[in-house]
Amino acid sequence: MPSRRPTWFETINPATGRTLKRYKSSTKADVDKAVTKAKKAFEKWRLLSPAKRAIYLERTAKTLRAQKEKLARIITQEMGKPIKESLPELAKCAWALEYYSENGPKFLNPEVTKTDATDSYVAFEPLGVIGSIMPWNFPLWQCVRFAAPALIAGNTTVFKPSSITPQSGLALQNAFESTGLIPGCFSIVLGSAQVANYMIESDTVAISFTGSVNAGRNVAQAASTQLKKFVLELGGSDPFIVLEDADIEAASTGAVAGRFINNGQSCIATKRIFVVKRVLDEFLEKFVKKAKSLRVGDPLSPETDIGPMVREEALKTLDGQVKDAVRQGAQLEIGGERLRRKGSFYAPTILTDMTPEMRIMKEETFGPAAPVMAVKDENEAIALANKSEFGLGATVWGTDTRRAEKVAREISAGLVTINNVVVSDPRMPFGGVRHSGIGRELSRYGMLEFTNIKSVRVYEKSPLAHAHVE
């Protein structure tokens, strides 16, 4: 029997190590109450036209833009990303809300199909209450990219943010509620994995989860026992391939942006860099020089490029991966150690002389460390890129874009970008293959994940006397 007594948890500023606030963890009764409220809201929300639902998304976008400075500070203080990245995260949330308010109604239009019936079409209807379990590294964006399409489709949601970033989640709830949204359409519960389990066990009809592979496996097993739909966005070990005809200036800039964004803590960050030997020296010279120029410091300063890692445990994991590589013969070009200052700061790190068997090449790395491996040609790059349990994103750099596209088609990944870094975009589907996840977020495809795709056939006169029924 789950305990009815609430437990408490604290949030910590990773830049200082100081406690920010204490929160009461939701009980099973709290979760059930939130889901019941969301079910009642669903009965009203689903009856609104998509155009009317869109109004609330537009209002929420305006609220996020109006409160961007305040909300960006909350994000940065809770999880450590530089304020110069927290502000764009809010802008992206507003963009996604506006995108679905504009395009969602069109996406939901019935699709007419010719059959033997007088009229036949495909309708898209909401499912009900969707449980949303999200991580800390993009605390608002990862919720909005699920919530915007789910809400415009007519669903309601109960959202559990990471226990690292509860204030960010509460701020998002306040933004939605300030628009006059039907109470219960966007609810929040707080706590750790046990609270997520309560949500899966509750009367939610589906689950959207973003997090680690092991946690995703547990979510899938728990949801499957109840025959609940689920979408999983899990880890990544994205390859970054530099072909011999690449623009090395652009590729080296892309490597810095792709590897060190969000202090290196992103599922779609560059994780493994493969460079054709012919251009390796030129690439390394530029990459190292640019990485050395990154400013590490107070994440609330607009001058800071690299802030602290989210927690001491994460720093120790990354440091272990780096030290394992060095023990096996990797060379440190820069970094390779924690910085001697208050907070969980790790020096921007570049390693060379890599082998595929090193931990940092096999495991997902969440932190500012970039392994660079020389390859003889594009075929070896493709083989090594695919030598991973993950398949989320990939990047290919080359001036012959047809050749680069050919390489991209050979990589097992859900997202591939040529001559730029991998990003999530409301207009394009987001998700991976292998252990990187199941299902898609964003675009029309992501919205349809949480709809009942209903076939409707209308006959003015019954053809049963003549039809072969199957």
- Residue 463: pLDDT band (50, 70, 90) is confident
pLDDT at 470 over 70: no
How, if at all, do strands 119-126 and 111-112 pair? antiparallel
Torsion angle, CA of 133/430/50/38, rounded to 10 degrees? -10
From 220, 150, 156, 219, select the one nearest 446 (Cα to Cα): 150
Give the mean pLDDT of the chain.
96
CATH of span 8-234+436-456: 3.40.605.10
Is-contact 240 205, C-beta < 8 A? Answer: no
pLDDT at 455 over 90: yes
| Mean pLDDT of the region 389-415 | 97
- Residue 464: pLDDT band (50, 70, 90) is confident
Domain 238-418 has CATH 3.40.309.10: yes
pLDDT at 466 over 80: no
| Mean pLDDT of the region 304-308 | 98
pLDDT at 2 over 80: no
Pick the catalytic residue: 78, 85, 98, 233? 233
pLDDT at 4 over 70: no
Is-contact 57 181, C-beta < 8 A? Answer: no
Active site residue 337: no
- Summarize pLDDT for 196-216 with one digit per residue, the tens: 999 999 999 999 999 999 999
Domain layout of the chain by residue ranges? 8-234+436-456, 238-418
- Residue 382: pLDDT band (50, 70, 90) is very high
Structure tokens at 123: 């309708």
| Mean pLDDT of the region 306-330 | 98
Active site residue 267: yes
Alpha-carbon span 73 to 129, nearest angstrom: 31
- Summarize pLDDT for 75-133 with one digit per residue, the tens: 999 999 999 999 999 999 999 999 999 999 999 999 999 999 999 999 999 999 999 99
357 to each of 33, 335, 384, 422, how far by Cα in Å?
Answer: 49, 21, 11, 25
- Residue 29: pLDDT band (50, 70, 90) is very high
What stretch of H or E contains 144? Answer: helix 141-152
How, if at all, do strands 186-188 and 156-160 pair? parallel
Instruction: Please identify which residue in the block is written with the tokens 């679905």.
Output: 100
pLDDT at 328 over 70: yes
- Summarize pLDDT for 342-352 with one digit per residue, the tens: 999 999 999 99
From 233, 136, 226, 268, select the one nearest 446 (Cα to Cα): 233
Report the phi/psi class of residue 252: left, alpha or beta, with left for phi > 0 and alpha for psi in -120 to 50.
alpha
pLDDT at 371 over 70: yes
* Percentage of the chain exceeding pLDDT 70: 97
Residue 467 is predicted with a pLDDT of 57
Largest CA distance in the chain: 84
Per-residue 3-state assignment (H helix, E strand, C coil) for 257-312: HHHHHHHHCCCCCEEEEEEEHHHHHHHHHHHHHHHHCCCECCCCCCCCCECCCCCH
- Summarize pLDDT for 221-278 with one digit per residue, the tens: 999 999 999 999 999 999 999 999 999 999 999 999 999 999 999 999 999 999 999 9
Pick the catalytic residue: 93, 143, 185, 267? 267
Could you write out the DSSP letters of every residue in 239-257? EEEE-TTS-HHHHHHHHHH
